[in-house]
Structure 1
Amino acid sequence: MYVIGFICTLGASLGYGLLLSLTQLAFKKVVKRENFKAIMDMIIYQSIVATCATLLGLFASGEWNDINKEMQEYEMGKASYVLDLIFIAISWKVFNIGCVGLIFEISSLFSNAISVLGLPIVPILAVVFFNEKMNGIKAISLVLAVWGFISYVYQQYLDESENKIENRNTLNVTKEECNIRG
């Protein structure tokens, strides 16, 4: 089961990265507009496709029959169950708007780096507020998420430093050409 879980997790990560890259490609090649409406259109179309796929899977698997039982067994009651689902949906939409906005303004790579930076927050909050134990898997995932973000920031720093050196060299060559001509 661990192997299947690992493969599914890896596939989900690859799919999410591909989704971000395809969103950026769609902005450049298909949408070709630079405004908030373009971001909202992109989110709405992605959400419609995702909702249809989820509902298709829910009904095809027969799990829709278990929803009422799940709601009955929820510790805090039916109303809390529904409110949890509503607030989770709202939170994901806000997250989605932020991710697509980052893709629109900067890049899909930056959006993914910021998303990965947020991943360790949930286990840390669970340890602090719900007294969960910090086990090895949580610690490793925390370290990998922070390491990935730091790697991204460091690469951006190196690229920026290289650009500054190239700009200085270009300015020096231009000044020398002006001095020779003048």
Structure 2
Amino acid sequence: MSTTVTQQPQHSTLGEYKRWLRVSLYTILLLTGQCTATLLGRFYFAKGGKSKWIATSVQSAGFPILIPLLFYSSKSTNHDFSKPKRSVMITFYLGFGLLMIAMDFLYSCGLSYLSLSTFALVCATQLAFNGVATYFLNSQKFTALILNSIVVLTMSVILIALNTESEDSTDLPKEKRLIGLFCALAASATFALQHSLLQFYFEKVAKTGVFSVLLRLNFYPMIIASVGAVVGLVGSGDWRSMGMEMKEFEYGNLELTITPILAVFVFHDKIYAVKIVAFFLAIWGFLSYIYQHYLDDQMANQDRSDDGLQVLKGEEQI
């Protein structure tokens, strides 16, 4: 019995290190993908692109890459868990797909009307919206650190909205920049709502977090979003100008994908004092949010350790 007590902390510590290693890897991959997508989206509008629906469609058009993973997961997954009713799953797939198409279109509008640095700062409010959404949908408590992150992120956006000393590199009137600001804020709120609903689905509906369920919750909504983008492209009439747009685009038909990837590094957005202050406020809010999650994780680990020790003491008494 004493051997079990001494080995338990070592095993849990090793598992904790592996968990944080996976979380760090996933975070790096997520940030890399988001940054690349944002840079390429801004590159499209900066170099002559005009269609918001084209920019919207490419955000979900990569869903076929998930097909091999779907086949693999369907064969390797243990199907012991109980699946929700098909009607419930279809409803969630449709809802997530509609949220995705709305979010993608709003992001495209924000990228078309804002400079890259301003857009990135505004999108940092995703954390604030996430805190509000998880409070109502996932029963997450408001702590001082989360409230602090919401306040400072809100202040950073207000500073950007009130900043009149700079002219964004988009050379658009202030009214359109305000529309872009609103669209970026609405997209960030939709992003937070979608992720809170995903957590709600896993906890209350599917009651499992297996890989195959996660894949389907990405694959089918992306199909719906892609179809919606095509409908928007046709309905808006942008498809008629695609040929002309490719000819007028500064980099032609984009035959070499390395060209736009390298070209994004030549963007030189103007940085003003207000943007610097907003940037540090965003970093402050981000760190406050992350530190709160670290504290929650430490508390959960402590509770599990205490429960394990109580079980061991009970076994010793028996």
Range into which the TM-score falls when normalised by the shorter chain: 0.5 to 0.7
1:151 aligned to 2:318?
no
Structure 1 unaligned regions, length at least 5: 89-124
Q: Which residue of 1 aligns with 2:60?
A: none
Match of 1:78, SS state, is coil
After the TM superposition, which residues 92-103 of structure 1 pair with which residues of structure 2 at under 5 Å, given as runs?
none
- The residue type equivalent to 1:146 in the other structure is I
Looking at structure 1, the residues matched to 201 and 227 of structure 2 have their Cα atoms a distance apart, in angstroms, of 20
Match of 1:16, SS state, is helix
- CA displacement 1:91-142 (0-9 Å, x = unmatched): xxxxxxxxxxxxxxxxxxxxxxxxxxxxxxxxxx95xx31614423764564
Question: Does the C-alpha gap of structure 1 residues 62 and 21 become closer, same or farther in structure 2, counting only changes over 3 Å?
Answer: same
Q: CA RMSD in A?
A: 3.9
Structure 2 unaligned regions, length at least 5: 1-174
Q: Which residue of 2 aligns with 1:12?
A: 187
1:56 aligned to 2:192?
no
1:22 aligned to 2:158?
no
- CA displacement 1:21-61 (0-9 Å, x = unmatched): 11122222333343221121111112012112212221111
Match of 1:44, SS state, is helix
Looking at structure 1, the residues matched to 239 and 218 of structure 2 have their Cα atoms a distance apart, in angstroms, of 26
Question: Does the C-alpha gap of structure 1 residues 54 and 141 become closer, same or farther in structure 2, counting only changes over 3 Å?
Answer: farther
Question: Does the C-alpha gap of structure 1 residues 61 and 138 become closer, same or farther in structure 2, counting only changes over 3 Å?
Answer: farther
**Fraction of identical pairs, as percent:** 32
Structure with the bigger RCO (C-alpha within 8 Å, sep 6+) is 2
Match of 2:255, SS state, is helix
More helix by share: 1
Instruction: Report the number of matched residues.
Output: 137
Tell me the TM-score normalised to structure 1 length. 0.56
Looking at structure 2, the residues matched to 7 and 18 of structure 1 have their Cα atoms a distance apart, in angstroms, of 16
Looking at structure 2, the residues matched to 55 and 153 of structure 1 have their Cα atoms a distance apart, in angstroms, of 38
Q: Which residue of 2 aligns with 1:71?
A: 246
